[in-house]
């Protein structure tokens, strides 16, 4: 009979680059070997605690929460948590140590232990070479009754002697001794990985790591018999004494919403009602429809029942701030699209437009905190973040963390470096992985890249890489997930510094929060909101008309016609090539069509093969049918095809007998299965449930495949609806205010799919005049110019390019120029606006001085002749020498326009080559429009993009541009391999192939590619390569 | 026509190709950081594959995997530049390395020897081709013009300043060696050729450009002289002594050897350097040569020490046939760092300084026989120390007790049941180089009272026999 034992000192892989096993692995093994409890004591962090808690519940083995730490000026120790008070003290200590240091480091000092420490047990990891008497005395004064001396034996040089020394020390200082394992891995088999991580941590190779490696693999969860051999029974028994004291679990944490949002005399419930009713008056000034009142009442009742008032009040407060600063925002998520949120201004979607969504607002069965993400204008999100920090204080508000995990390429890089592979080989190996692949490099790719996967060196690399993938690597900052709490956050979870100055993050990530029940609001940034805000501002400024997202005319016919023509360059979401190819087939003509459109062109539905069935049904080519009447309710709005995450969950309830809670668990598994697996038990459960309810096995199998396809990519309807609102708004603006919209897009750049050059070409194709950059007329931003005989700005304006278009030009200088206009000479401009040599040369080269100095050659000559003059001579006339410089040719101008502005208002480069191209029998994109399906054609254009969609195997989409528009080229894998050089290298490409035209969508299936780049002779044209 | 410029457009590549057995196979020189590898140069065959300089290696590999990658070596370029300068030095005493990847030769004074120019040019070209270097070659009245014209021409010979003016006027500005800022400013003013610039009033240019532009133009046109630093062949020591009679015994060679080493020491002292190694050549009557290499561990220049070393080596050489001449050649001449000595040297008369003893032992016993020892951080005992050629004192880490005598190979312990004094100390390490060990080490006491360090291999089955790995003193 072996002794009973609890491991009290064990690191998981959240001790980054130290712990070589996950909590799950540790708990499974500890349970199997009959341990009584397992402490996870990651080094000065609780980042892995929630996962450890989950693993402990799964393995049915108690978790002891704790942390190992090394004091800068003192001993190393392990702190173990007895109760909630102890937990809070530990959080405070870790927070202190982490906040004092830069990201990823900590510094703990003895003075940090002056604060109360009750509720904590301490294991002293004594260094016998140090001043043990002094350290022991100090520790005993801190933990008078809860200090133990840890005895850790790992078959070192002389374990017997070490044991005797430690026991003697314990006796001398009257501290009880206890056995511990200093566990770094669950099993001995992780020894190589642990050595590798040590090398990674020290930025050296394993061979160089030398004595920094452990001498052996004893630091794992050893079988109890082994431990009984090593340790005196009393030391083992003592572990149980400590384990019995440390009974704290994370379930005891009680999160409280912030309270200050409720004014005196109100409860959260009454205040939310008050705000909602106020908002209803604002939303429906002409009278509140009965339907809305009913909905609001129902929702308020549900919120009150679930106790989520404070959550809505918190989001409302943030949105209210944004509104007061005129920052555009839009909420999304299941709870966001509700009548209450509409009234509170969190969403702009009028429930009247979308009444089917609100059924899934919140549910009693799903015991899940409400989830609202709010998108803010990209440029101004920081103001919102700072508001939250100021309002609640840094102690109570922090960003959530993201535990960045190893992907294939990163893992193979780190392992390769640790094993001393040369950089070229490491790069080549990483290239084989693909950046985001969750797997190691495929063997075939390795062989193709010239590796021999059977070599022992490479096999070691691959085996270690496979083990390392999925391990957390470091904590980084979540893009916008905020946690706000009534108590200081460090009473819930340690807080540490993020890489960005003035940012703090909590040690838990998004998934952890759900398990512990913390409130989280996502404060996200969206470029399109900036563009829409700028468009609104331009319209208001010129036409005096004030639009908002909510007041734009709904269901506008001409807007939908424009969308159906795929005339959507620049708008939100439906501007990509894949989306544009879908639009003429889907022909959206209601808001809900847009919701579907946003969701359907995504990897989820594409991989689940849902796109074509939906299209066929919509176009009446296939009968709309439902497997059963219950499912008709679920799938009617998508014509019987599952497109949304919510529908899958609904299906599980209706057709397979899931409870709401279980279907929610299915949603989580769906999101996580690629990472962790764990969908298989749902397959059985779903299939059985569906068979029992009379569905066919084949149908059940198909549904399950679709669920898997959804996996990581499934798009929730509630998000699609919020996006669709912005899509509609941007389309409406493009349709009715095209100049203002294009202007605002360029001013918000970088964003979206298209470059300013492409946006301007699109504007010109819509008969919008574009005007050159000129110091006498241009501001920093692009502006609108109305005709002189149009004082009320009713006509269509021209776009005046702003000085921001000049690459490298600075905003301050542009603003000085705009404020000091007009100028009479180059000299005056330079001197009054105080332009340095760089600025004036940029202006001259960009052609922005043409009204003062003529063509750009003369302008450059002129600016070079202006020197800083002493004030004494400021009045002297400047004698400028008239010299004859050659004027730039048309081609010169195009060349320099692209180099300096990234666009040209002169002829499109291809129009200069049109004669040459015609003699090569190339058609223009305009001629192509009138060409029939199936024709053999030849076209040429600038290569504007090469895309290799993940969903299409091996095919590459090339976008060509000429003076009339774009041509979509499809290059199949085989041709791409054969003509790789042209495909990768050409800036100007001639393509011969077969035209496929259907429903107004044209694709050119390439048969042969020719590189015509030499014709361009130096013209610089950017391409979006393989993004 | 006083100067010739030889431009070596692909010096780095030629340096690799001339040593390659397959110069026609696709080859690319690679440079850049570990994160971003860039193609620096390619040969014709690689260019055929679509590779070009400036491409990222990733792009190049996307085009083809069928080419050899060689690391671009800055050091090699400098070496070959020097090498070619030494070659050119045989044609002209004024050779300049002022421009990278180019040689400038003053030829006026050489034409009498190698001329006329067409013949001289042909000779230069044929030798360069034989050496394996691509080149362009231009002769002009001044070195700067020769260099710049070589950007646009090959084989041009400009005889006088009028012709120079004409040729230069047609030169495109971007081939003129102007700094990039000036060049782009001129281009952005629409100026393409030298002629266009020369046509502008001089003071308008002076106002707009810094003095460098006009200075450069003047120099090109020969209106301003240019000072060039001339190449000096490297210093090294080489002295040969021809003997008046044929020497057949080693003993008789000691005299000239002492002279040579003394000369070397003097030479070293004169240039304040030491010597790390030198070669003694014996030229035999039958025309054959014997060579004695003498290597040192640190730079020395003490005459007696140099002599002792050379003698030690020489004495081990069997002189096959009579020697007629002895020469000494020393190339490795680093700066000398003198040893620090006390004012009152306390060493007894008989004793030899350690360094001298070490060198004497090495000379007598052979280089391999005398080695330093160094601790190496590795848990595996057999890897924990290493022989080194260096003479630094061993760095001892914080290591557990280890026996002073470690056997190079472990042997089975003869004794059945020795007494275990300590252990087991478990060592599991070394998986990364294929030498993974898993052993339990014990300190044992044999019946005869010896303390043994022995291990048993860790295994699932019965423990194996004790293997003796070392003896404690």
Using one digit for the tens of pLDDT, what is the confidence trace for A493-506? 999 888 777 778 89
Return the pLDDT at A690.
86
For residue A331, give the nearest of A511, A535, A526, A574 by alpha carbon: A526
Residue B396: inside a domain, yes or no?
A: no
Residue of B nearest to A216 (CA): B428
Asked if the model's pLDDT at residue A729 lies above 60, the reply is yes
Out of B30, B189, B440, the one facing A861 most closely (by C-beta) is B189
**Whether residues B228 and B250 fall in one domain:** no
Residue A1 touches partner B, C-beta closer than 8 Å = no
From CA A103, how far away is CA A90, in angstroms rounded? 19
- Tell me the domain boundaries of chain A: 23-252, 268-403+477-526, 407-469, 629-713, 737-901, 914-1025
- Candidates A160, A865, A887; nearest CB to B207: A865
- The reported pLDDT for the residue numbered A357 is 46
CATH class assigned to A737-901: mainly alpha
Q: Which residue of B has its CA nearest to A860?
A: B189
B460 part of contact set with chain A, CB < 8 Å: no
B226 and B252, same domain (yes or no): no
Instruction: Tell whether A195 lies on the interface with B, counting CB pairs under 8 A.
Output: yes
Q: Which residues pair with B281 in a beta bridge?
A: B291, B327
Q: Min CA distance, A449 vs chain B (Å)? A: 8
Do B131 and B261 fall within a single domain? no
Cα angle value B49/B52/B53 (rounded, 5°) = 155
Q: CB distance B377–A212 less than 8 Å?
A: yes
Residues of B in contact with A984 (CB under 8 A): 59, 62-63
**Residue where a domain terminates, one of B283, B311, B332:** B332
pLDDT band at A363 (very low <50, low <70, confident <90, very high): low
- Using a CB-CB distance cutoff of 8 angstroms, which residues of chain B are in contact with residue A867? 207
Q: Quote the tokens at residue B337.
A: 């760092």
Q: Any idea which of A941-955, B220-234, B265-279, B342-356 has the lowest mean pLDDT?
A: B342-356
How far A217 CA sits from the closest chain B CA (Å)?
Answer: 6
- For residues B250 and B229, state if they share a domain: no
Best A226, A432, A861, A890 member to test B by mutation, with max B CBs in 10 Å, is A861
Are B210 and B248 members of one domain? Answer: no
**B154 within domain boundaries:** yes
CB contact under 8 A, A215 and B429: yes
Cα of A402 to nearest chain B Cα, Å: 25
pLDDT, residue A924, reads: 92
Q: Are residues B11 and B117 in the same domain?
A: yes
CA dist., res. A261 & res. A310, Å (int)? 8
> Chain B partners of A892 at a C-beta cutoff of 8 Å?
190
Cβ within 8 Å, pair A857-B188: yes
Total number of domains in chain B: 3
Output DSSP code: residue A755.
Answer: -
Query: Comparing C-alpha atoms, which of B437, B431, B439 is closest to residue B458?
Result: B439
Look at residue B51 and tell me if it is in a domain: no
Say yes or no: B246 and B298 in one domain. yes
Residues 6+ apart with CB under 8 A from B48: B26
- Note whether A212 contacts B: Cβ–Cβ < 8 A: yes
Contact, A932 vs A986, CB < 8 A? Answer: no
Pair (B223, B321) in one structural domain = no
Taking an 8 Å cut-off on Cβ atoms, the answer to whether B431 and A192 are in contact is: yes
In a domain, B77, yes or no: yes
Q: Cβ separation of B188 and A845 shorter than 8 Å?
A: yes
What H or E segment, with its residue span, contains residue A886?
none
Whether A322 contacts A378, CB under 8 Å: no
Classified by CATH at the fold level, domain A914-1025 comes out as: OB fold (Dihydrolipoamide Acetyltransferase, E2P) (2.40.50)
Q: Quote the CA–CA distance of A430 and A423 in Å, as a whole number.
A: 10
Query: Residue B68's beta-bridge partner residues?
Result: B27
Count CA within 13 A, CB hemisphere, residue B247. 21
pLDDT(B313) > 90? no
CA A800, CA A763: separation in Å to the nearest integer? 12
Q: What is the DSSP letter of B394?
A: P
A423, closest residue in chain B (CA to CA)? B34
Hey, what are B31's tokens? Answer: 């440079």
Q: Say yes or no: B200 and B258 in one domain.
A: no
Assess whether B166 and B243 both reside in one domain: no
pLDDT value of position A709:
67
Q: Which of A39-43, A419-423, A649-653, B315-319 has the highest mean pLDDT?
A: A39-43
Say which CATH number the domain at B317 has: 3.30.1490.100
Q: Are residues B77 and B194 in the same domain?
A: yes
Q: Is the pLDDT of residue A536 over 90?
A: yes
Confidence of residue A352 (pLDDT cuts 50, 70, 90): low
pLDDT of residue A711: 60
Whether B156 and B114 map to the same domain: the answer is yes
B 317-356 near A (Cβ less than 8 A): none
pLDDT on residue B412: 86
For the stretch A969-1000, pLDDT in tens is: 999 888 887 888 788 878 899 999 999 887 77
Instruction: Tell me if B456 sits within 8 A of B463, measured CB to CB.
Output: yes
For B433, the closest of A207, A860, A985 (CB atoms) is A207
Q: Which fold has domain A23-252?
A: TIM Barrel (3.20.20)
Chain A residue numbers touching B201 (CB-CB < 8 A): 881, 883
Q: Is the pLDDT of residue B393 over 70?
A: no
| Domain coverage including residue B162 | 1-25+67-234
Residue B432 with chain A: CB contacts under 8 Å: 192, 195, 206-207, 419, 460
- Which residue matches tokens 């003097």? B266
Q: Does B385 touch chain A (CB under 8 A)?
A: no
Site from A127, A158, A843, A854 to mutate, B interface, most B CB atoms within 10 angstroms: A158
Counting other chains too, the contacts that A1021-1026 makes at CB distance below 8 Å and 24 or more residues apart are A1021/A898, A1021/A909, A1021/A942, A1021/A943, A1021/A944, A1021/A987, A1021/A988, A1022/A755, A1022/A902, A1023/A942, A1023/A943, A1023/A944, A1023/A945, A1023/A946, A1023/A987, A1024/A944, A1024/A945, A1024/A946, A1024/A947, A1025/A945, A1025/A946, A1026/A946, A1026/A947, A1026/A948
The percentage of chain B sitting over the pLDDT mark of 70, rounded to a whole number, equals 88
Helix A591-600 and helix A717-736, axial crossing angle in degrees, nearest 10: 110
Task: Give the minimum alpha-carbon distance from B211 to chain A in angstroms, rounded to a whole number.
Answer: 14
* Inter-chain CB proximity B208 and A449 less than 8 Å: no
Instruction: Return d(Cα A908, Cα A762) in angstroms, integer.
Output: 12
Chain A CB contacts of B63 below 8 Å: 980-981, 984-985
On whether the CB atoms of residues A25 and A42 are closer than 8 A, the answer is: no
Domain boundary among B302, B332, B362: B332
Helix (H, G, I), strand (E, B) or coil at A500: coil
CATH number of the domain that residue B190 is part of:
3.30.70.270
| CA B140/CA B156 separation, integer angstroms | 8
Strand order in the sheet with A472-484: A329-332, A372-377, A521-526, A472-484, A397-405, A504-509, A495-497
* In the predicted structure, residue A434 carries a pLDDT above the cut 70: no
CA angle A898, A903, A905 (to 5 degrees): 110
Q: Could you tell me if residue B420 is inside a domain? A: yes
Q: What is the mean pLDDT of residues B32-55?
A: 86
CATH of domain A268-403+477-526: 3.30.1900.20
- Contact between chains at A158 and B422 (C-beta distance less than 8 A): yes
The answer as to whether B255 is a domain residue is: yes
User: Which residue, B183, B218, B234, sits at the end of a domain?
Assistant: B234
In angstroms, the separation between the Cα of residue B442 and the nearest Cα of chain A is 9
- Residues A329 and A738: their CA atoms lie apart, in Å, by 22
What is the pTM for the complete model shown?
0.75
């Amino acid at each position: 009979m072996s002794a009973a034992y609890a491991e009290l000192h064990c690191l998981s892989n959240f001790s980054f680059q130290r712990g070589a096993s996950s909590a799950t692995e540790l708990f499974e093994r500890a349970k199997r070997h009959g341990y009584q409890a397992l402490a996870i004591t990651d080094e000065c962090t609780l980042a892995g605690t929630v996962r450890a808690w989950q693993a402990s519940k799964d393995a049915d083995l108690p978790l002891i929460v704790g942390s190992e730490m090394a004091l800068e000026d003192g001993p190393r120790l392990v702190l173990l948590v007895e109760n909630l008070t102890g937990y809070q003290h530990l959080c405070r200590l870790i927070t202190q140590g982490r906040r004092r240091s830069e990201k990823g480091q900590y510094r703990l000092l003895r003075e940090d232990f002056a604060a109360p420490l009750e509720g904590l047990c301490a294991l002293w990891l004594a260094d016998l070479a140090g001043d043990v008497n002094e350290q022991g005395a100090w520790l005993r004064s801190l933990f008078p009754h809860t200090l133990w001396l840890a005895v850790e034996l790992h078959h070192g040089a002389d374990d017997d002697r070490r044991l005797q020394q430690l026991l003697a020390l314990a006796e001398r200082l009257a501290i009880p001794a206890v056995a511990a394992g200093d566990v770094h891995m669950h099993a001995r088999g992780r020894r190589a990985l642990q050595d590798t991580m040590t090398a990674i941590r020290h930025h050296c190779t394993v061979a160089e790591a030398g004595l920094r490696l452990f001498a052996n693999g004893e630091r794992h969860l050893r079988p109890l018999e082994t431990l009984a051999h090593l340790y005196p029974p009393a030391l083992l028994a003592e572990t149980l004494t400590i384990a019995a004291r440390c009974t704290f679990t994370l379930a005891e944490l009680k999160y409280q919403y912030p309270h200050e949002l409720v004014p005196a005399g109100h409860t959260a419930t009454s205040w939310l009602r008050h705000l909602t009713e106020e908002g209803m008056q604002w939303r429906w000034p002409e009278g509140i429809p009965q339907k809305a009142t009913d909905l609001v009442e129902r929702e308020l009742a549900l919120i009150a029942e679930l106790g989520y008032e404070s959550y809505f009040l918190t989001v409302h407060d943030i949105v209210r701030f944004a509104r007061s600063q005129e920052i555009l925002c839009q909420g999304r998520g299941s709870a966001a699209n509700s009548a209450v949120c509409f009234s509170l201004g969190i969403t702009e979607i009028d429930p009247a437009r979308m009444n089917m969504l609100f059924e899934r607002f919140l549910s009693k069965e799903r015991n899940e905190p409400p989830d609202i993400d709010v998108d803010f204008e990209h440029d101004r999100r920081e103001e919102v973040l700072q508001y939250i920090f100021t309002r609640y204080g840094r102690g109570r508000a922090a960003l959530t963390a993201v535990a960045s995990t190893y992907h294939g390429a990163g893992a193979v890089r780190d392992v390769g470096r640790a094993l001393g592979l040369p950089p070229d080989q490491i790069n080549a190996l990483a290239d084989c992985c693909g950046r985001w692949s969750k797997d190691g490099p495929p063997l075939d790719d390795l062989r193709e890249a010239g590796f021999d996967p059977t070599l022992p060196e490479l096999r070691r690399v691959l085996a270690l890489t496979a083990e390392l993938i999925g391990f957390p690597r470091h904590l980084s900052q979540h893009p916008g997930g905020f946690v706000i709490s009534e108590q200081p956050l460090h009473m819930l979870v340690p807080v540490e510094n993020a890489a960005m100055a003035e940012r703090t993050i909590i040690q838990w990530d998004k998934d952890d929060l759900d398990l512990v029940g913390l409130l989280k609001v996502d404060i996200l940034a969206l470029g399109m909101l900036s563009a829409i805000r700028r468009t609104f501002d331009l319209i208001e400024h010129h036409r005096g008309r004030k639009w908002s997202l909510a007041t734009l005319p709904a269901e506008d016919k001409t807007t939908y016609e424009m969308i159906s023509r795929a005339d959507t360059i620049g708008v939100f979401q439906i501007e990509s090539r894949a989306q544009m190819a879908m639009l003429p087939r889907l022909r959206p003509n209601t808001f809900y069509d847009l919701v579907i459109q946003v969701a359907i062109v995504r990897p989820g539905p594409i991989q689940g093969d849902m796109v074509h069935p939906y299209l066929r049904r919509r176009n009446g080519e296939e009968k709309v049918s439902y497997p059963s009447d219950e499912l008709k309710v679920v799938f009617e709005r998508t014509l019987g095809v599952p497109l949304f995450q919510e529908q899958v969950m609904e299906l599980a309830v209706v057709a397979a007998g899931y409870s709401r809670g279980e279907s929610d668990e299915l949603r989580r598994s769906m999101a996580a299965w690629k990472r962790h697996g764990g969908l298989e038990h749902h397959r059985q459960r779903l299939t059985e449930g569906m068979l029992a309810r009379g569905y066919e096995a084949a149908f059940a199998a198909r549904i399950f495949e679709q669920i898997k396809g959804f996996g990581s990519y499934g798009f929730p309807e509630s998000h699609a609806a919020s996006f669709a609102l912005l899509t509609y708004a941007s389309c409406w603006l493009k349709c009715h205010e095209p100049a203002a919209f294009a202007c605002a897009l360029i001013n918000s750049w970088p964003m979206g799919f298209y470059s300013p050059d492409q946006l301007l070409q699109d504007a010109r194709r819509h008969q919008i005049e574009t005007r050159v950059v000129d110091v006498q007329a241009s501001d920093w931003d692009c502006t609108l110019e109305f005709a002189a005989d149009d004082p009320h700005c009713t006509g269509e304006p021209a776009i005046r390019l702003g000085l921001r278009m000049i690459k490298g030009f600075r905003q301050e200088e542009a603003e000085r120029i705009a404020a000091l206009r007009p100028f009479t000479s180059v000299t005056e401009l330079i001197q009054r606006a105080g332009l340095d040599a760089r600025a004036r040369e940029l202006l001259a080269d960009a052609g922005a001085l043409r009204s003062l100095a003529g063509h750009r050659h003369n302008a450059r000559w002129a600016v070079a002749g202006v020197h800083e003059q002493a004030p004494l001579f400021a009045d002297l006339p400047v004698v400028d020498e008239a010299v004859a410089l050659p004027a730039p040719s048309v081609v010169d101008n195009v060349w320099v326009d692209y180099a300096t502005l990234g666009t040209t208002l002169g002829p499109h480069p291809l129009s200069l080559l049109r004669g040459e191209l015609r003699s090569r029998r190339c058609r223009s994109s305009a001629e192509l429009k009138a060409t029939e399906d199936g024709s053999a054609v030849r076209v040429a254009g600038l290569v504007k993009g090469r895309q290799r969609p993940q969903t299409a195997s091996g095919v590459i989409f090339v976008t060509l541009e000429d003076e009339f528009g774009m041509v979509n080229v499809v290059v199949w894998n085989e041709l791409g391999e054969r003509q790789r050089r042209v495909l990768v290298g050409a800036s100007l490409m001639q393509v011969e192939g077969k035209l496929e035209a259907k429903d107004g969508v044209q694709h050119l299936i390439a048969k042969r590619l020719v590189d015509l780049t030499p014709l361009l002779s130096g013209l610089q044209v950017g391409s979006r390569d393989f993004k | 026509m006083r100067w010739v410029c030889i431009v070596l457009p692909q010096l780095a590549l030629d340096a690799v190709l001339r040593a390659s057995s397959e110069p026609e196979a696709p080859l690319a020189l690679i440079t850049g950081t570990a994160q971003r590898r860039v193609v620096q140069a390619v040969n014709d065959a690689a260019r055929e594959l679509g590779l070009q300089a400036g491409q990222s290696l990733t792009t190049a590999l996307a085009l083809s995997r069928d080419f050899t990658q060689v690391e671009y070596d800055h050091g090699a370029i400098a070496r070959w530049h020097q090498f070619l300068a030494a070659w050119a030095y045989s044609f002209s005493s004024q050779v300049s390395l002022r421009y990278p990847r180019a040689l400038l030769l003053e030829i006026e004074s050489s034409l009498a020897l190698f001329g006329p120019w067409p013949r001289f040019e042909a000779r230069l070209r044929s030798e360069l081709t034989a050496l394996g270097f691509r080149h362009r070659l231009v002769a002009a009245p001044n070195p700067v013009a020769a260099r710049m014209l070589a950007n646009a021409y090959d084989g041009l010979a400009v005889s006088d300043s009028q012709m120079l003016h004409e040729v230069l006027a047609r030169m495109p500005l971007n081939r003129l060696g102007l700094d990039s800022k000036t060049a782009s400013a001129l281009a952005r003013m629409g100026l393409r050729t030298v002629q266009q610039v020369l046509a502008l009033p001089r003071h308008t240019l002076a106002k707009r450009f810094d003095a460098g532009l006009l200075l450069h133009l003047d120099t090109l046109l020969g209106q301003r002289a240019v000072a060039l630093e001339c190449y000096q062949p490297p210093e090294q020591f080489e002295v040969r002594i021809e003997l008046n009679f044929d020497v057949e015994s080693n003993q008789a060679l000691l005299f000239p050897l002492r002279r040579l080493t003394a000369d070397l020491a003097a030479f070293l002292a004169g240039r304040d350097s030491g010597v790390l190694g030198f070669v003694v050549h014996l030229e035999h009557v039958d025309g054959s040569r014997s060579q004695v290499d003498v290597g040192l561990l640190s730079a020395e220049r003490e005459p007696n020490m140099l002599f002792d070393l050379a003698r030690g080596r020489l004495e081990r050489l069997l002189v096959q046939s009579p020697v007629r001449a002895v020469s000494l050649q020393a190339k490795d001449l680093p700066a000398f760092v003198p040893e620090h000595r006390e004012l009152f040297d306390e060493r007894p008369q008989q004793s030899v300084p350690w360094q001298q003893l070490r060198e004497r032992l090495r000379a007598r016993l052979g280089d391999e026989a005398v080695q330093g020892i160094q601790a190496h951080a590795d848990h595996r005992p057999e890897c924990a120390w290493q022989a080194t050629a260096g003479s630094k004192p061993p760095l001892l880490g914080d290591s557990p007790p280890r026996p002073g005598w470690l056997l190079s190979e472990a042997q089975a312990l003869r004794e059945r049941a020795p007494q275990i004094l300590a252990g087991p100390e478990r060592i599991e390490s070394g998986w990364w180089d294929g030498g993974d060990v898993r052993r339990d080490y014990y300190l044992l006491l044999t019946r005869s009272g010896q303390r043994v360090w022995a291990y048993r291999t860790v295994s699932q089955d019965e423990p194996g026999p004790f293997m003796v790995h070392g003896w404690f003193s």
